[in-house]
Amino acid sequence: MKRIVHVCETALLILTANLIPLWTETGFGKIPLTIATLLLCGSYLFTLIKGDGVKISDKRLKRLHRGCTLTKTGGIAAAVEVLILIGFFIVTDAGVIAKIFAVVLPVLLIGIVILCGSVRIAANSRQIKLTDHIAMLLFWWLPVVNIFLIRKFYLTAKREYIFEADKVELDSVREASQVCRTKYPVIMVHGIFFRDWQLMNYWGRVPASLKKNGASVFYGNQQSAQSVADSAKELKAEIEKVLADTGAEKVNIIAHSKGGLDSRYAISRLGMADRVATLTTVNTPHRGCDMVDFLLDKIPDNIVDYIAAKYEKIFTVLGDTKPDFLAGVKDLSAERAKAYDQEMPDMPGVSYRSIMTVMNSPKAAGFPLNMGYRLIKKLNGANDGLVWEGSASHGDFRLVKHTGKRGISHGDVIDLMRENIEGFDVREFYVGILKDLKDQGF
């Protein structure tokens, strides 16, 4: 049915765009042509403002789908119009004015349809990159180039709609089962150089997806850069707060990067072992980052101190009360990591798991992860742009390999860029983690 509606919309658009040939090359009288013109103009305006009627609860996706439909309709109409105009100029005896309007009218009407479609896509798509938006703003007027830009907008938006619509349907189907409703609440602990901001969630779209499937989600709320010991103290306070607020006996912790070390310290050194049921670390450098040792050795101290001072000044404004750039960085070094196993032994009663993803190419991420990938590959081998594979192993270890060319970077695994990666659904990745915890009684 939808395909029939789309064909009808396209046909009506083509007819509306060819009002001049209809008036000059057909033998219909003025009254029938006037009525037809009014009906076609009305259908044209209706096409611009109507929705697609797709059965999906997400209004953004509805608008995105309509943008795709309008863009496709305009594209097909434009291709057909080229053939029509060629035929019109070959057979017509119309005057110059009629010929001019025979070109101007379809260009205007079809152009408006494509413009409306592109604007809806640009306003509602979350997968179109900033560089593509800029290119469209700069070169939309350039013939041929704009065709490629519009096509890229359309294809990206179409893939996004299909991906997200499937996601909405999946969440709807399993809503009753609440697959992420674990026995204990979940605390998600961020890594270094970030904070838990509500407006820019460290974990991207992941927490919302977990909550849709029944999870009770909280955050570590430690400062962006401090030593492992200091961050662990803040995490301990947050664990105690979550337990007090929820009445739960324990928590499950999912920690990324340095957050995994902060969590281990809180469990082993700060008496949280009886408050934590499971610790799942994701791309955490349990054996440190050799790249940190390498860079600290190569970069002059005055430059390191300058970077540290600037960082701490900025993040004090952003909410940190006492950021310590160097303490946080040095605690990630391979040299410092050697003492971790002695300082933070695994505690009885806590289930330790670890997960690691790796990049397959430096093209999988932008700066600085692409540079980090090259450097760590020489030093240690497979890595995610910051952490090498062997360093991430602790407890029950699982390596997640992406079959595509790009792989999964240190940022991809926390949905940093909110990007839909073919072959790796980051939201389902975490849904799977919580589903396993629930199935295991945690």
pLDDT tens across 229-251, in order? Answer: 999 999 999 999 999 999 999 99
Name the residue with higher pLDDT: 390 or 339. Answer: 390
Beta strands at 217-219 and 251-256: parallel, antiparallel or unpaired:
unpaired
- Whether the pLDDT of residue 441 is over 90: the answer is yes
Distance CA 438, CA 287 (A): 29
**Range from 180-184, 260-264, 339-343, 344-348 carrying the lowest mean pLDDT:** 339-343
Regarding predicted confidence, which is higher, 25 or 137? 137
Supply the pLDDT for residue 52. Answer: 83
Q: What is the mean pLDDT of residues 179-204?
A: 92
Length of the chain: 442
The Cα–Cα gap between 96 and 81 comes to 19
Q: Average pLDDT of 138-152?
A: 94
Residue 360 has pLDDT above 90, yes or no: yes
CA distance 32 to 34: 5
| Rounded Cα gap, residues 338 and 322, in angstroms | 26
User: Before 368, cis peptide (omega within 30)?
Assistant: yes
Q: Could you give all domains of the chain from N- to C-terminal order, each with its CATH number?
A: 2-170 (no CATH), 178-439 (3.40.50.1820)
Find how far residue 354's CA is from the centre of its chain: 23
Look up residue 213 and give its DSSP letter: T
State the pTM of this model: 0.90
What average pLDDT does the segment 108-116 reach? Answer: 96
| pLDDT band at residue 288 under the 50/70/90 scheme | very high
Check whether 79 has a pLDDT greater than 70.
yes
Alpha-carbon gap, residue 183 to 171, rounded angstroms? 20
CA 39, distance to chain mean position in Å, is 43
Q: Which residue has the higher pLDDT, 69 or 340?
A: 69
Q: Which residue has the higher pLDDT, 21 or 284?
A: 284
The mean pLDDT of 25-42, rounded to a whole number, is: 88
At 26, the pLDDT band (50, 70, 90 cuts) reads confident
Please give the pLDDT value at position 263.
98
Mean pLDDT of 82-92: 86
> Which pLDDT belongs to residue 198?
66
Q: How far apart are CA 150 and CA 132, in angstroms?
A: 10
Could you give phi then psi for residue 280, rounded to 5 degrees?
-110, 110
- Mean pLDDT calculated for residue range 189-197: 91
Q: Which of 1-5, 78-82, 181-185, 419-423 has the lowest mean pLDDT?
A: 1-5
Q: What angle do CA 330, 283, 285 make, to 5 degrees?
A: 30
What share of the chain in percent tops pLDDT 70?
A: 99
Mean pLDDT of 200-207: 94
Assess contact for 225 and 323: CB atoms under 8 A.
yes
pLDDT grade, residue 93 (50/70/90)?
confident
In whole angstroms, give the CA distance from residue 145 to residue 135: 10
Q: Say which residue the tokens 């570590």 belong to.
A: 220
For residue 102, pLDDT beyond 90: no
Q: What is the mean pLDDT of residues 50-62?
A: 90
Q: What is the pLDDT of residue 260?
A: 97
Where is pLDDT greater, at 421 or 96?
A: 421
Task: Give the C-alpha distances (Å, rounded to integers) separating 440 from 180, 182, 351, 434.
Answer: 12, 9, 11, 10
Judge contact between 363 and 409, C-beta under 8 A: no
Q: Is the model's pLDDT at 92 over the cut of 80?
A: no
pLDDT for residue 364 is more than 70: yes
Two structure tokens written together for 438: 């629930």
* Residues above pLDDT 90, as percent of the chain: 78
Q: What is the distance between the alpha carbons of residues 402 and 432, in angstroms, rounded to a whole number?
A: 16
Q: What angle do CA 318, 323, 326 make, to 5 degrees?
A: 130
pLDDT at 25: 77
pLDDT band at 407 (very low <50, low <70, confident <90, very high): very high
Question: Can you give the pLDDT at residue 411?
Answer: 96
The band of 337, judged by pLDDT with boundaries at 50, 70 and 90, is confident
Structure tokens at 142: 């350039």
For residues 255 and 189, the answer to whether their CB atoms sit within 8 Å is yes
- Is residue 73 pLDDT above 80, yes or no? yes
